[in-house]
Amino acid sequence: MKLSKFCEEELMSFDLSGPTKTDVIRELVDLAAKSSTVRDRDELLAAVLEREKLVTTGVGYGVAFPHAKTRATKGIIIVFGRSEIGVDFEAMDKKHVHLFFLIAAPEDAIGAHLNVMARLSYIMKSEKNRERLMRARTAGEVMLILDSAP
């Protein structure tokens, strides 16, 4: 699965500035709202924040996957964000998060949504991939890393 088909260059930030979990989610949703795939920014934000209340999407290893299935989007979208200093995202390993992937999908995209999440999780298990994403400087590099990971 080529994850780059769900990414767009303008949906990436290499210098997230939000100091808190909620601030970072807002930044990522603001990026998502630049895509024609997103119908309603505020509805997407509410859905992601509501999902985050259930259990943290900070999976450990400096990675978080905030996500939601919502009517606010008409297709699957992945937003990439990086924070050099890291953010307390209440991650399962209690470490700050540096790499963020906001995943938004329509309510009826059950299988595809889970496949995207599973593929991203697999890619982020690799320390090498995480290091490469921390060094990436362009959207093209990020997409290449996501698509070329074994």
Looking at residue 51, what is its pLDDT?
95
* CB contact at 8 A, 105 and 116: yes
Q: What is the pTM of this model?
A: 0.96
Predicted confidence at residue 28, as pLDDT, reads 98
What is the pLDDT, as a whole number, of residue 110?
Answer: 80
Tell me which residue of 99, 75, 73 sits closest to 15, measured CA to CA.
99
Mind telling me the catalytic residues?
Answer: 67
Closest listed residue to residue 102, CA positions, set 46, 24, 9, 36? 24
pLDDT for res 64: 98
Q: What is the mean pLDDT of each run of 10 residues along the chain (150 residues)?
A: 92 96 98 97 98 94 96 96 96 96 93 91 96 97 91
Architecture of the domain spanning 3-145: 3-Layer(aba) Sandwich (3.40)
DSSP secondary structure code for residue 16 in this structure: -
Q: How far apart are CA 138 and CA 30, in angstroms?
A: 19
Strands (E), the chain: 12-13, 58-60, 63-64, 67-69, 77-87, 97-105
47's enclosing H/E stretch is helix 41-54
Give Rg (Cα) of the chain. 14
Q: What are phi and psi of 80, to 5 degrees?
A: -105, 135
The neighbouring-strand residues paired with 65 are none
